[in-house]
Amino acid sequence: MSRSYLTHMTDAAAQAIMDADQSLHDLPAMLAQRWPSAPALEMVLAISSACDAIERMYRLQGVSAGRVEQAWRIAALIGAQVYAAQKLEQPHGTAAELLVFWNQ
């Protein structure tokens, strides 16, 4: 995975987090659909990196702070879902495989 690939995924996550009109509920699926061959845990790193960058650049309050907090939780949940898929012996290595797991 090239660094620019992760950069693009992180940028997309940051844009979604900062767009109050976009549901964060759809963020993992959006990333997985745009980068299906990405390692599933790459989404965790991208969302976490986006949250960290946003927190460093802005003094967040109100809705913005809540969205970043929600995105941190989403990143943690993706990690837990990758682990659950592994324990259930389901394919879980790529974002596309994680999409299949979510849709079961």
Mean pLDDT across 67-88: 96
The whole-model pTM stands at 0.90
Return all residues near 24 (Cβ < 8 A) that are at least 6 apart: 16, 17, 67, 70, 71, 74
- pLDDT tens, residue by residue, 7-53: 999 999 999 999 989 999 999 999 999 999 999 999 999 999 999 99
Q: Are 92 and 86 in contact (CB under 8 A)?
A: yes
